[in-house]
Chain A
Amino acid sequence: MAFLELTDVDKSYGDHQVLNGITLQVEKHQVVCLIGASGCGKSTLLRTINGLEEIQGGEISLDGDVISGEGVDLNAIRTRIGIVFQSFNLFPHMTALENITLAPRRVLGVSKAEADDYAMKLLTRVGLADKANAYPDKLSGGQQQRVAIVRAVAMNPDVILLDEITSALDPELVAEVLNIVKDLAAEGLTIVMATHEMSFAREVADTIAFLHEGRVLESGPPDQIFTAPREERTREFLHRIVEAGRL
């Protein structure tokens, strides 16, 4: 059984079915990239894994435990599954350091000194030690997103979900954020990420899953997906990406 496993997951908003029988296996230390057109359900999928959205059918399990459905301790699950959003969502009334240490201190009960210490180590690694006491509105988009990644990593999660984390960034800031993801992957963190950065996905991912209208239309190793996609839709999508100069 895979480390993170989604079996036949359905999700709808009212009558609108957004996820339609999603099945996906993510092994430990793997990087899985979700690709697909805007609106195909990538964000929704990530949000259901983190328990931010209820699902109407199917099952999600982590390390053998079912983590979907009624009665699960969402707060506990969320300490093991981190998520980073496209729009950073840093807390504007807290410094970078306070953003990072909030959850370790208030959820895990780590002491302030210890939390600060660990946060500073992580900030140093992403090159932001000097910004520890800066408020988000004094940081560039790339810096904010790096802090947001550190905020998720500081909880030492088993899995980290990244939802188009570079889409809101100016092109020249994308690399500084993706390099951190590469580091995390190299360290063996399990990562599921929705992305439009195809060359990055090709380089870093172990598995690519192509989503179309709420289904995983096909998935496989990057080389196969990018060079010999089985599905016509996948081919079309990649073709459009190439035309847009993104691959």
Chain B
Amino acid sequence: MSLGTATRPVRVSSPLAQRRDTSGSVMLIGSLVWLFTVAFTVWTALELPAVADEGWRVVIGIALWLVVALAVIAGLPLLRGIRYRTEAARADAAGDLAAARAARSRATQSGWVAAGWTLPLIAVAVFAQFLAANDHAVQTTFFDVPFMLRSLQDILVGFWVNVQIAIVAEVLILVWALFVALAKLTPGVAGRPIRWIATTYIDIFRAVPSIVVIYLIGFGLPLAQIPFLSDLGPFWSAVLALTLIYGAYVAEVYRSGIEGVHWSQVAASRSLGLSYGKTMRFVVVPQAVRRVMPPLLNDFIGLQKDTALVTIIGTVEAFTQAKIYAGNYFNLSSVTVVAIIFIIITIPQTRFVDRLIERDSRAKTRS
């Protein structure tokens, strides 16, 4: 039964059916919130464009009047609510208690809908006020659009480096972490030292802050003058550091995925004569891959964001470029550009992970 049909009466005369009528007060709350929102957004729309920079007046004006329009539209449920109230009164007069109660319930619903949809618009207006505060200081510091556009190209060139670091590290991690996970799962007494090594590695790299690892590898390896490792350069140092850090996390993700495969699957595979290795390869790991996808992608999102940390070892990536602009012009808007780029690439991925999780939980409830 849905909530909508739940308002249909079962026994009209029972005391339960005589719910107190709250539709009036809820409609009043809805109306007040709506009135306030409209007033506040109109005031914002009238006041802010006036103090904006020349070129921005029109854009900001249009945006703010759009908000006003949305605020007005959000009041439409109130009209419906009033209609339901009249209906209820009419039904009451006709003695149809059930119809009256249903109509009142819909009126209450309408009041809440109006309030719920107008409130976020207040938040938008408050944010606009915040940007305009102190003679637009906030807006010019963080959102100086011409400056943002000017820095965009160099930042995009830098961001391409972030992308490359992330992709190369991700590919390496996929292999490296599986290796570590299988090492940590090595069976038997003979495998114990291997398990210890794997555990130690995982513990260390999950304990040390990423930025410290990057710093130590980026500056430490060249200083130590180790053949090959000292000549990696900033790009490959960054890749190495991130692979070591996130390899530890992903190894744990793999391990829990492998251990999450039910032991009866192993029994079935072994009972057919497949060795431990073949059981892992054909039965356990393929099943684990599916269940590790969501946490694995979450770790990769974290890794992508952490590619900005490698700026400390002098890798010229997006954040490095943005800081150069910010330093030269005493304006942080270039850094906002970096933030926006990361938001743009990350949000689709997180939505995708959510979808995977949802799909898996649906598959689970089905079986």
Asked if A102 meets B274 with Cβ closer than 8 Å, knowing A91-B269, A92-B287, A93-B286, the reply is: yes
Cross-chain contact A78 with B287 (CB below 8 angstroms): no
Asked if A78 meets B270 with Cβ closer than 8 Å, knowing A93-B290, A106-B278, A107-B278, the reply is: yes
- Residues in A neighbouring B268, C-beta threshold 8 A: 85, 89-91
- Residues in B neighbouring A107, C-beta threshold 8 A: 272-274, 278
- Residues in B neighbouring A77, C-beta threshold 8 A: 273
Residue B283 at the A interface, CB < 8 A?
yes
Query: 1/0 contact trace for A144-182 toward B, CB 8 Å?
Result: 000000011001000000000000000000000000000
Residue A76 at the B interface, CB < 8 A?
yes
Could you list 8 A-B pairs, sorted by A, with CB under 8 Å?
A: A52-B271, A75-B274, A85-B264, A91-B268, A93-B286, A106-B274, A107-B274, A151-B272
Other-chain residue from B267, B278, B283, B290 in contact with A85 (beta carbon distance below 8 A): B267
Q: Report the minimum CB–CB distance from B264 to chain A (whole Å).
A: 5
Residue A82 at the B interface, CB < 8 A?
yes
Cross-chain contact B287 with A93 (CB below 8 angstroms): yes
- Residues in A neighbouring B25, C-beta threshold 8 A: none
- Residues in B neighbouring A90, C-beta threshold 8 A: 268
Cross-chain contact A103 with B272 (CB below 8 angstroms): yes
Q: Which residues of A, 52-84, contact B by the 8 Å Cβ criterion?
A: 52, 74-79, 82-83
- Residues in B neighbouring A50, C-beta threshold 8 A: 271
- Residues in A neighbouring B13, C-beta threshold 8 A: none
Residue B329 at the A interface, CB < 8 A?
no
- Given the complex of chains A and B, what is the CA–CA distance between A75 and B274 in angstroms? 6
Cross-chain contact A155 with B265 (CB below 8 angstroms): no
Residue B225 at the A interface, CB < 8 A?
no
- Given the complex of chains A and B, what is the CA–CA distance between A152 and B270 in angstroms? 12
Residue A137 at the B interface, CB < 8 A?
yes
Q: Which residues of B, 256-283, contact A by the 8 Å Cβ criterion?
A: 264-265, 267-275, 278, 282-283
Q: Which of B265, B282, B287 gathers the greatest number of chain A CB atoms within 10 Å?
A: B282
Residue A25 at the B interface, CB < 8 A?
no
- Given the complex of chains A and B, what is the CA–CA distance between A90 and B271 in angstroms? 12
Residue B367 at the A interface, CB < 8 A?
yes
- Given the complex of chains A and B, what is the CA–CA distance between A79 and B271 in angstroms? 8
A-binding residues in B (CB < 8 A): 264-265, 267-275, 278, 282-283, 286-287, 290, 366-367
Chain A: how many interface residues by the 8 Å CB criterion?
Answer: 26
Name the residue on A nearest B290 (C-beta).
Answer: A93
- Given the complex of chains A and B, what is the CA–CA distance between A91 and B287 in angstroms? 9
Asked if A78 meets B264 with Cβ closer than 8 Å, knowing A91-B283, A106-B278, A137-B367, the reply is: no
- Given the complex of chains A and B, what is the CA–CA distance between A102 and B353 in angstroms? 32
Residue A87 at the B interface, CB < 8 A?
yes
Cross-chain contact B267 with A89 (CB below 8 angstroms): yes
The 4 closest A-B pairs by CB, nearest first: A89-B268, A103-B272, A78-B273, A79-B273
- Given the complex of chains A and B, what is the CA–CA distance between A77 and B275 in angstroms? 12
Query: 1/0 contact trace for A214-234 toward B, CB 8 Å?
Result: 000000000000000000000
Asked if A78 meets B271 with Cβ closer than 8 Å, knowing A93-B290, A106-B278, the reply is: yes
- Residues in B neighbouring A89, C-beta threshold 8 A: 264-265, 267-268
In the complex, besides A91-B283, A102-B283, A107-B278, 19 extra interface pairs with C-beta distance below 8 angstroms are A52-B267, A75-B275, A78-B272, A79-B273, A85-B264, A85-B267, A85-B268, A89-B267, A91-B265, A102-B272, A102-B282, A103-B273, A103-B274, A106-B274, A106-B278, A106-B282, A151-B272, A152-B272, A155-B272
Name the residue on A nearest B276 (C-beta).
Answer: A75
Q: Report the minimum CB–CB distance from B361 to chain A (whole Å).
A: 15
Q: Report the minimum CB–CB distance from A154 to chain B (whole Å).
A: 9
- Given the complex of chains A and B, what is the CA–CA distance between A151 and B274 in angstroms? 13
Q: Report the minimum CB–CB distance from A12 to chain B (whole Å).
A: 19
Q: Report the minimum CB–CB distance from A147 to chain B (whole Å).
A: 12
Q: Report the minimum CB–CB distance from A83 to chain B (whole Å).
A: 5
- Residues in B neighbouring A52, C-beta threshold 8 A: 267, 270-271
- Given the complex of chains A and B, what is the CA–CA distance between A155 and B269 in angstroms? 13
- Given the complex of chains A and B, what is the CA–CA distance between A107 and B283 in angstroms? 13
- Residues in B neighbouring A76, C-beta threshold 8 A: 273
Name the residue on A nearest B275 (C-beta).
Answer: A75
- Residues in A neighbouring B265, C-beta threshold 8 A: 89, 91
- Residues in B neighbouring A102, C-beta threshold 8 A: 272, 274, 282-283
- Residues in B neighbouring A83, C-beta threshold 8 A: 271
Q: Report the minimum CB–CB distance from A99 to chain B (whole Å).
A: 9
- Residues in B neighbouring A155, C-beta threshold 8 A: 272-273
- Given the complex of chains A and B, what is the CA–CA distance between A103 and B264 in angstroms? 16
- Given the complex of chains A and B, what is the CA–CA distance between A204 and B273 in angstroms? 28
- Residues in A neighbouring B287, C-beta threshold 8 A: 91-93
Query: 1/0 contact trace for A175-218 toward B, CB 8 Å?
Result: 00000000000000000000000000000000000000000000
Q: Which residues of A, 104-146, contact B by the 8 Å Cβ criterion?
A: 106-107, 137
- Given the complex of chains A and B, what is the CA–CA distance between A96 and B261 in angstroms? 19
Name the residue on A nearest B264 (C-beta).
Answer: A89
- Given the complex of chains A and B, what is the CA–CA distance between A54 and B367 in angstroms? 33
- Given the complex of chains A and B, what is the CA–CA distance between A74 and B270 in angstroms? 9
- Residues in B neighbouring A106, C-beta threshold 8 A: 274, 278, 282
